[in-house]
Structure 1
Amino acid sequence: MTKNGADAVPTSSHAHPLVDLDSISHTKQRIKDGLATRRPWRVMFDFHSMVLPRGVSDAFSRIKTNLAYFRSNYAIFVLTVVFFSLIWHPTSLIVFTVLVFVWIFLYFLRDEPLKMFRFQIDDPTVLMVLSVITVVLLLCTNATFNIIGALVTGAVLVLIHAVVRKTEDLFLDEEATTT
């Protein structure tokens, strides 16, 4: 055995090239941080906050606020509805699974804003582009009826929730988390 410990067993997390514990730990943290933009489901489905709007302007105001506030939750919900509609279409399900990974890395797990050609792309734009790409690619898999039905069902359920979920307490939650 040498004095400088050259014969010692390596203890670095990079000792085995196939298992990089630092990368796994970083990925787990990015998943947690990415899902942090999602609002708690118990806040979203707080039955004490479900009240019919007072008028059309109140309904439109609620839709605008709730769509912005629960954006990630609504995306997860609609993607889940589309997933269940594709169970009997294996090709579409494979395409959808690949697209879900694209969604995870480009929308849910980003640490910083997405930049393309020196331009910063905001979250609503990324959401819209990913939605269009998802729909177009899935429509190319010959499951058109299922996809359209799932998207309409998801959109109707999201709009119903956005209309009946009052918004007065949502701003209080945002202020409480920033202080």
Structure 2
Amino acid sequence: MNFTLPEEGLQRLTAQLNLTGTFTHTLRSAYGGHQLMARVRIERGQPNTAVRIEMGDQVHTLDVQTAHPEKHLQVADFIDAIANGRVDGGELAQPRVTRQPLLPEPAALLSETQLGRLKHMVRHGGFASLETGHEHPIHVAVHRTRPAEGVTVIASIGAARPRTKCFTVRGDQRECLKRLIISIEHLHIIATPQRAAAA
């Protein structure tokens, strides 16, 4: 399950980081109705602001620069990482029981340039052909919806019998970009030959 701090929580966190106090935030799962509560204790100081996050039986701390213009994004990403189990605790992890060496992390599917292009398209609309290592690129067209904020996306890969996705996402640019990237990754996976996917 993937939990995220919603947009209204991010806006509140931006204001809260200018104060000292304890605040409660609710994280929601991306596609379900599940919720997770987090207590955030902020001690504003100079040059750093100390942030303590309590979630269930976990307690994590983070120091951010008080003058940093995107400190709210740093804290929000840290909260998301805790909620999704991507932050290591202070205790040693249990040793892994395996007979084979661990596989290295796979390379990112999209380059920084491609991600930048997708961000631009989510803001303004447009078209791009993304090379992802297949014989054919993934073609992506994005149209901004009005008056409700969101995008309509058409994405396809292949020539003779292309695999296509078409959907509309309502929400802020962050949510639209996330759904667009998930869709591109899914097209990449279903276009990968079975033997290559199993290797």
Please say whether Structure 1 and Structure 2 have the same fold, judged by a TM-score greater than 0.5. no
Counting helix residues as a fraction of each chain, which structure ranks higher? 1
Rg comparison, structure with higher value: 1
Question: Quick one: higher RCO (CA 8 Å, sep 6+), 1 or 2?
Answer: 1
Q: TM-score, normalised by structure 1?
A: 0.26
Q: TM-score, normalised by structure 2?
A: 0.24
